[in-house]
Amino acid sequence: MFGEFLSSHLEAPASTYRVGRRRLLGLGAFALATGWALTEAIVSFPGAVPISPTTAAVGLWAVLFAAVGAVALTQTPDYVRFSQPLLLWAVLNTVAFLVTGAAVLGYLPAGLVVYAYWHVWVLVAVIGFAATGVLLERSGPSGQHYFTAAGLEVSLLFIGLGAFPELVPGLYLLLAFVHPTPLALDAYPGDLGAGPDAAIQLALYATGLGLVLVL
């Protein structure tokens, strides 16, 4: 396995083993929900921050991802920090940050800048959720809730590209719900459930929230 290769060939920082898989997933879900909710607040009330809203939002996400990444790297056991899903998300998030950073620094063509912020992150989520679902299905647990989340993220990407512009002002609130939910379902399976039933619930909740935003 690629994760086993890395764990045996890379000299990673010593881990305290204080944070297990579920606690890391819970932390990730909290960071995602907080990040998108605060992004919505920054976009809705740009005068509330002393700097550019774009800079504030990018800085917020940089802090959140750095914090979660630091915990994953230094506080989790090797089977977690070198797992295929975590490595996959590390690569995807790094690529997305490079694209967003290039836009902030003015290195992207003007026509692409508009897609370099939340669009690229939703695209990353589509790829990441779908791939995570496949990895889970191969190893035994159900990945249906990740597949459902990937489908919902595709819908959000479609919305953001202009198909339903009336939803865009509340789009970050939808992301604050859809993005962390699969992680929360994995982190607290006994309380929230997992598998097809949870996937259906996720779809229904997201649809309901979308209707609320429209109305």
Q: How would residue 131 be classed by pLDDT, with cut points 50, 70 and 90? A: very high
User: What is the domain partition of the chain in residue ranges?
Assistant: 17-214
Report the distance separating Cα 202 and Cα 177, nearest Å.
9
User: Residue 106: which region, alpha, beta or left (left: phi > 0; alpha: psi -120 to 50)?
Assistant: left
| Average pLDDT across the chain, whole number | 80
Burial of 24 (0-12, 13-18, 19+ CB in 10 A): buried
Give the global pTM. 0.80
Q: Could you report the per-residue pLDDT of 49-85, keeping only the tens digit for each?
A: 899 988 999 999 999 999 999 999 898 988 888 899 9
| Cβ atoms < 10 Å from Cβ of 192 | 15
Q: Are 115 and 168 in contact, with CB atoms under 8 Å apart?
A: no
Residue 19: pLDDT band (50, 70, 90) is confident
Q: Which residue has the higher pLDDT, 215 or 72?
A: 72
Does the structure show a pLDDT above 70 at 200? no
Two tokens at 121? Answer: 């992150």
Structure confidence at residue 193 (pLDDT):
47
Indicate if the pLDDT at residue 96 is higher than 90: yes
Question: What pLDDT shows up at residue 63?
Answer: 95
Q: How many DSSP H helices and E strands does the chain contain? A: 12, 0
Give CA separation, 181 vs 12, 101, 121, in Å: 30, 27, 16
DSSP string, 28-83: HHHHHHHHHHHHHHHHH-GGGSSS-HHHHHHHHHHHHHHHHHHHHHHHS-HHHHTS
Q: What is the pLDDT of residue 212?
A: 45
Check residue 13 and give its pLDDT. Answer: 66
At residue 9, what are phi and psi to the nearest 5 degrees? Answer: -110, -15
pLDDT of residue 95: 94
Q: Cα–Cα distance between 63 and 11 in angstroms, integer?
A: 24
Tens digits of residue pLDDT in 141-186: 778 888 888 888 887 787 777 665 555 667 788 888 888 888 888 8
